[in-house]
């Protein structure tokens, strides 16, 4: 079951989101380089990476497993973005914008999981 992940809209959205996280975390305190900055970047990159890796798996079941991992990463990033907003590393408006995008991406990914697994999910 080989797919070109670059053709998937959900992957494109996740990839752009990862780039945005790199931009916004560049302004985090240097003391966080091995803390929240690193954790947030890795989790954000994990979203698109899991989608891409799942595309290379042989079965739909395996693919869906990686898509669920991507969904877990979305929620991890959401938590970290909220924390960054609360401690003042991100402006509240920017944190809210990022959380909104994560929720939209999560809905999109959830629909895609339903499609790949043969279920109708809204």
Residue 49 belongs to domain with CATH number: 1.20.1440.60
Domain annotation covers residue 67: yes
State residue 122's pLDDT score: 47
Q: How many domains does the chain have?
A: 1
Structure tokens of 54?
Answer: 């799942």
Mean pLDDT value of segment 107-115: 95
Domain annotation covers residue 18: yes
- pLDDT exceeds cutoff 80 at 12: yes
Domain annotation covers residue 122: no
Quote the domain boundaries for residue 74. Answer: 5-117
pTM above 0.85, yes or no: yes
Domain annotation covers residue 111: yes
Domain annotation covers residue 113: yes
Q: pLDDT, tens digit, for every residue of 22-62?
A: 999 999 999 999 999 999 999 999 999 999 999 998 889 99
């Amino acid at each position: 079951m080989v797919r070109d992940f670059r053709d998937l809209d959900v992957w494109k959205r996740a990839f752009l989101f990862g780039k945005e996280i790199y931009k916004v975390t560049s302004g985090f305190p240097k003391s966080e380089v091995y803390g929240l900055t690193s954790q947030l970047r890795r989790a954000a990159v994990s979203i698109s990476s899991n989608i891409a890796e799942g595309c290379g798996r042989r079965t739909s079941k395996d693919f869906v497993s990686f898509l669920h991992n991507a969904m877990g990463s979305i929620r991890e990033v959401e938590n970290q973005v909220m924390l960054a907003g609360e401690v003042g590393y991100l402006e509240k408006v920017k944190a809210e914008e990022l959380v909104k995008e994560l929720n939209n991406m999560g809905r999109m990914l959830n629909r895609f999981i339903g499609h790949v697994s043969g279920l109708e999910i809204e």
